[in-house]
Every structure is written in C-alpha cells, then in structure tokens.
Structure 1
Amino acid sequence: MTNRRNASVGKQLRRHRLNPSCSRRSWLRGAVGAAVVGVASSPFTTSSRSSLAQDPFSQTLYIPDEIDRAVQKAIEFLVQTQRPDGAIADKSHEIAMTALAVMAMASVGVTPTPTTSQGNAMIKALNFVLQHNHQDIKGYFGDRDGSRMYGHGIITLMLTEMLGMGATPQQNQLIHEGLTNAIKLILAAQNVSKPEKLQGGWRYTPSSRDADLSVSVWQVMALRSAKNDGLDVPGEAIDAAVEYLKYSYTSPIGHDGVPRDKVSGFSYTPGSHHPTFTMTAAGLLAMQVCGNYDSPMVEGAAEWLMEHPPKVNERFFHYGIYYYAQGMHQVGGKYAKEADNIVPSTLLAAQRDNGSWQGRGGEEKNVGLVYATALSILSLSVRYHYLPIYQR
C-alpha cells in the first residue's frame, strides 16, 4: 500500500518493550495516553485528527489507507449504535456485546476520555457493563443477559485489558472489583469435577461438568491477561487449561509428546479427529497466549490453516477470522503474511455502507451487527496491537 508508515505505531510500541520494573498497564496507559494528546496518535483516537500525522518513531508522514478508513467507519457505527443507557448492542446479550465493542475500540487506540465522542462512548459503555446488577454475588456476568460463560469470558477479558485505563479513579475501582470476582468465578468453574480429558476446560455455566474449546478459549485469555496484570491467578490454572487445549488437538499424541500428524488442528471437544477452521484458529491463538509459541501443535495448526484458509461462507466466519487473524499474526513469518493479506481483502469487501458487518450464517446473523462489527475490527487490529493480550 502506498504512503504507509514504515511500521505501524502498534508494532513500534511492541519493539519498545515494557521495562521489567514497570507494570505493563502503566506502560500501556502511557503509550495510549500519549496517543490521545497527539504524541503517538492512532487514526481513531480523535474525530478531529488531520489526514496527515507524524509517526514519532519513524518521523515519516502517514496517510490513512483503506484499512484505517474501514476501521474508522466501523468505530463510528458502534458509537452511533450506542443506547442512552450506554449499551452498545443491537440484539441480544447486551452486556457481552457492549464489552466486545469496548475491546474492539480499545484495540485500535480509542480510550475512555471525555475529550472525544468516541472516548465518551467508551466511558458510558464501561459504566453500563459495570452496573451492579449485571454481576451476581458470585461474580458471574453471564446470567443477566443470557450470554452464559461465553459472555462472562468476554466481559472478564475486556476488564483485564481495561484495568487501570478507566476515565476516573472510581471507574478504575469498579473495574478492579468486578474483575477480581469474575476471575474467582472462572477459577471455581474450572475446578468443577469433570472427566479427565475435560479437566482444565469450561462450558456453558459455572457448574458445567463438561467442556468445549469455544467457551474455554475466552476463559483462558481472560486468565492469562489477568495474570499479566498481576492479579491472583495460580500458574496451575493456566497449566490445566493448556492440558485441555492439548486434548482438543485432533492428531494422536505419541509417547514422546509429539503429535503423530505434522499438520493438524483443533476440534470443538476432545476425541474428535476432524479439525474445523474456527476451532483450529481458536486453539492456535490460545496456545500462544499461554506462552506455548514453540509447541508442535502451534506449527501444525498454522500449517493446517495455510491449507484451509477462511471462506466467507464458513460457519461462524466472523468468530473464526478473529482468531485466525490474531493467531496467525503471532506465529509470524509466512503465516502472518498470509493472514495479513487474506483478512483485510475478505473483510473490506463485505463491509456495509454504514460501516458495519453482518454475519452470513443463521447463527451469526441472529446475534446482530455489533457482534460481527466488533469481531471484524479486532481482526483488522493486528497492525495496531494496542491490547497487551494480543502482543507476543
């Protein structure tokens, strides 16, 4: 693409690694805070941003390209969809959808600040999620809006990524309180007695005695992000989750711990030998989030995805391409290059005139435009990499 920066601000921020003596949250707050005042701005932190800006790292002029413009339109759609009570939702699961929208906005550099319309929308959305009656006494977020453990994982992950980023000390305190109880619930749900190959995973409710990969990945990412925040997450919980991920890998594992099939993927539940696109992409990202970058399962899943690229008629397309974009980008090399070509070309062609995306299959179409739009933004956000959970 012409007139691109030598590297995006997000990628440059990744190179300026966090000093071990500082918390990652204070680093992120400083980096993104600088963006708000124009020191290192992303295209989305202010509605009045000039079409030309300087990258403080490369000192080259930057002109927003078609991906930047598509994401900006999508962010504006989310802002315009926001209800007076702060919810960003057009159909069901209003708390979970609002949390997903907040995470999507944060992924491209939007922060809760009263100085911009987008920042104000973030403040109101966070306040909506954090309403006292949206979390029960045990810390569960998934009951009030019917989103179950899916929603609980999404909301918890969002709060871990926004910890310390609230607009006021009071909002930060509410984020911390809600997050602490939400993490306790995830840990308690993981420890419910389950069959051996399902231990370490999660399913639809906190008391479920089985597990599936789709629900589990959100909890894994929430725990990993919380642990990175310095919250009380036992290492054993992450280890148990990784063991569950390994059971979900479709290739038989040899006595040496190496998969027998060099190229394979992940399935919805352990025991299946038929990987799917969505679950393979989800497992790929989850293994890396847990630090298993060099696992043969990561290489095998990435190769499987090279042979089975995303298709717009894929079941759960938006859900899958989100994991695919983030997971393949973390693998790097030819895998990142492949995804960085496929994801924008596929998504930009499907964006609607009002900036939204709509799910094509019955399941995703019924969830609403906010769902598909937020996941599409997160899929396109790999170039910015503001959210620590998606940084290798």
Structure 2
Amino acid sequence: MVRCSLVVVAVSLIVCSVAHAQNKSSAAIPTTAAPLTEAKVIERVTASVDRSLEYLASKQKPDGSWDDCNAGNALTLLAMLGRGHVPGRGQYKEVLQKGRKYLLKTQREDGLFHSRRQAGAGPMYEHGLSTLATAELYGMDPDPDVEEKLRRAVKVIINAQSPNGGWRYNPKPGDHDLSVSVMQIVALRAANNAEIPVPEEVIEKAIKYVKYCAHPNGGYGYQGPAQGAQTSAAGVVSLQLLGKYDDPSVPKTLDLLAKFPVEWSASGIQYWYYFHYYAIQANYQAGGKHWNDWHPRVRELLLDKQNADGSWDVPGGTAENAGVVGPNNIYWTGMASLILEVYMHFLPAYQR
C-alpha cells in the first residue's frame, strides 16, 4: 500500500440515508453512543471534519505542500474538496490555491507526477492519487491548464497498464498488483467523470485483472486470488467503480469484509486507514444492509478517537506508522476525513 503519506486512497458525498443505521452494537463504539437522527449524525460528522481541515490547513508549508511525497499533498487537497471547499473561494481559498499550484508544478513533461520523496518502489502510487486530485480539481474549476495536465497524467496511467490489465510501481508496463491498480482505477474513474476519455480497452483489461485476483469464496489478493483485508476492500471497490456491481464476487466480498472487526487495533488489518477507506466506500456503493451495518460503527470509532487539535493518530501495531506514511499526522487525518466525508458527497469519483 502507499508507503509515503498514503498506503493509499477520494471520496464523494450527498447525505445518504442513515435512518435505522444504528442497529448494531460493537465493543469498539463508546457505550454512551445513543441512536442519532440523520440531521444529528451529519452535524457531528461535519464538525469533526471541519476541525480536521483546520488542523491540515495549519500544517501547510510556505511552498504549498504538506509533505515531500505527493501522496500526502493530494490526499489533503481531496479532503478539503470532499468538504465542498474549492480553490479561490471560501475559507480555504488560499490554502487550496497554494496546494494546487504546488501539486501541478511537480508534473514532469512526460505527464508523470514526481515527488521529492517517493511512495513505495516506484512513483505510480502517488501518480494515481495526484491524478485523482487533479481530476477533482478540474471538475470543480475547469481551467484549461489543469485540463492539459490531467490529460497528460491520464495518458501515463493508460500507457503504464500491463498486458494483463493491472498496474505496478513504475510507469513501464510489466508486473502488476491490486494495491497499485486500484489507485489507477479510481483516477481513471474521476477523469472519465471530468469528461477526459478513457479507452474502453483499458477498462475491460482492468476488469479482467481485478477478476483474476478474486477468491472463489469472496475477497481479493495482492497479485492473485486471496482474502486479505486491504486488498479485498480495494478489489470490490474497483469492480464497483468499473461498473460491475452485479459481479458474483461483490456480495461474497462484502460478506467477508463484515467479518473484520471495527476496532482501534491492528486485529489482522495491517493498514488500518487504507482498509477502512475502501471498506466504507464498498459498503456505501452496495447500500442496504451492508451499508447500514457497517458505517455507524466506523463513524463512531473515528469520532471518538479524534484528537483535541482535530488530527487523528493510528492504532498501535499497524504498518501505517509515521516512518512509513510521513510526518505531522497528515496521512492519518486526511484519510479519516475522507472516510467521514462519505456522508457529504462533493467528490464525484465514488458516487453511486
């Protein structure tokens, strides 16, 4: 998963129906948690996200960045966009303008986003996330210069696809894994939403690759059939965003995800934020019982664990420590914000 400021990653939001969503209890949820009305849920989530954005804004560097790795920079931009903020207007107009300017200037002539500090064994993790942020920025403010950079970034992703349909750490086609691939799939979905065309052949090959990683009993593996927590969440979201909501592996995997504990510990989940970022999106896309059973537990846990300054830490024992994802709680806070922003729906990439 992204080894920098993201083991990776975007989000969407209009208010989803959360009535009757409090029908399950969990040891991870504070015992004082009471049933909430939809309006009260949104009020609490909004207040939490607003505090997190204040924290993130306070950590921006003079050059407009938050981290030497673009994963953290793109993630923070997405968190602000996911709350409905846009460059040039509102409370964070200058923060977003500076952040956008920094991100876009890191793109090379060949279209690849390049970081001072690289995520993983190659640049495709942060390139996918940077492309996603660029697509969402362009969708909210269709600037011709941003469009050109987005087209070039999408071309890099298209050209980096392996013959088997997946992606790997480097932009040269060859090997592949599901963790890198899902980030490219999300970026392509966002680009397509922004009316940047993606060849049908690329989509079909991606679908074929994700299906190749599916376990017959539900779940997805890193480079083949398996049932890992993180890759299972990423795999089911990939198929959903590729339009394969009715694929037989989807309900099986949603049932598998429901077996993983929602608690503030590693508990078999090596990359906590990565897992919950994709898991809540998968359950949101599915709706119904899966969504109603899942989201209140994750929501209450995150609301309970937010620090007084608006940031989040990480559960002990996970692989998403500061040495891996970067300093200043940027990754953890950005990811937690995006998870909670599933209640708001401003970013198109994950909309149903």
TM range (shorter): 0.7 to 0.9
Q: 5 Å matches for 1:96-175?
A: 96-116=71-91, 118-131=92-105, 134-142=106-114, 144-147=116-119, 148-166=123-141, 172-175=143-146
Provide the C-alpha distance between the structure 2 equivalents of 1:208 and 1:63, rounded to a whole number of angstroms: 45
Any unmatched runs of 5+ in structure 2? Answer: 1-12, 17-37
- Tell me the C-alpha RMSD between the 2 structures: 2.2
Q: Distance in 1 between matches of 2:96 and 2:312?
A: 20
CA distance in 2, matches of 1:184, 1:176: 12
Amino acid at match of 2:57: V
- Residue segments in structure 1 that go unaligned for 5+ positions in a row: 1-8, 13-59, 194-198, 252-260
In structure 2, C-alpha distance between the alignment counterparts of 1:113 and 1:63, rounded to whole Å? 29
Q: Displacement of 1:173 after TM fit?
A: 2.4
Aligned mates of 1:371, 1:61 — CA distance in 2:
28
1:274-314 CA-partner distances (Å, limit 9, x unpaired): x1111111111111111111111111111111122444312
| Distance in 2 between residues matched to 1:391 and 1:238, nearest whole Å | 18
Partner of 2:155: 184
Aligned residue among 226, 237, 250 for 1:298:
250
1:81 matches 2:50 = no
Give the distance between the partners of 2:39 and 2:282, measured in 1 at CA: 30
| Residues 271, 319 of structure 2: 8 Å contact kept | no
The reply to whether residue 365 of structure 1 matches residue 343 of structure 2 is: no
**Aligned-pair distance for 1:364?**
3.5
Residue 164 (structure 1) shift: 4.1
Partner of 1:227: 192
Q: Deviations over 1:296-338 (max 9, x none)?
A: 1111111111122444312110111000111111100011112
Greater relative CO (CA pairs within 8 A, separation 6+): 2
Q: Map of 1:1-392 to 2, 5 A cutoff?
A: 10-11=14-15, 65-89=43-67, 92-93=68-69, 95-116=70-91, 118-131=92-105, 134-142=106-114, 144-147=116-119, 148-166=123-141, 172-190=143-161, 192-193=162-163, 199-251=164-216, 261=217, 264-270=218-224, 272-273=225-226, 275-312=227-264, 313=266, 314-360=269-315, 361-366=318-323, 367-368=325-326, 369-392=329-352
- 1:354, distance to aligned residue in structure 2 (A): 1.2
Q: Secondary structure in 2 aligned to 1:288?
A: helix
Cα distance in 2 for partners of 1:205, 1:144 equals 16
- Is the contact made by 2:83 and 2:341 (CA closer than 8 Å) also made in structure 1? yes
Structure 1 CA distance, aligned partners of 2:114 and 2:168?
A: 12
Greater Cα radius of gyration, structure 1 or 2: 1
- Give the count of matched residue pairs: 309
Superposition deviation, residue 126 in structure 1 = 0.6
Letter in 2 for 1:175: V
Q: Which deviates more from structure 2 when the two are superposed, residues 331-340 or residues 134-143?
A: 134-143
Deviation for aligned residue 1:159: 1.1
Post-superposition Cα deviations, 1:148-200, rounded to whole Å, max 9, x if no partner, equal: 1100000001111221423xx7xx2231121111111101110x45xxxxx11
Distance 1:388 1:282 in 2: 18
| Contact kept in structure 2, 1:358 and 1:365, CA below 8 Å | no
Q: Secondary structure at the match of 1:330?
A: helix
* TM-superposed deviation, 1:66: 2.5
Asked whether the 8 Å contact 2:159–2:173 carries over to 1, the reply is: no
Q: TM-score, normalised by structure 1?
A: 0.74
Query: CA offsets, 1:38-60, max 9 Å, x none?
Result: xxxxxxxxxxxxxxxxxxxxxx9
SS at match of 2:14: helix
**What is the TM-score with the length of structure 2 in the denominator?**
0.82
Per-residue deviation, 1:370 = 0.9
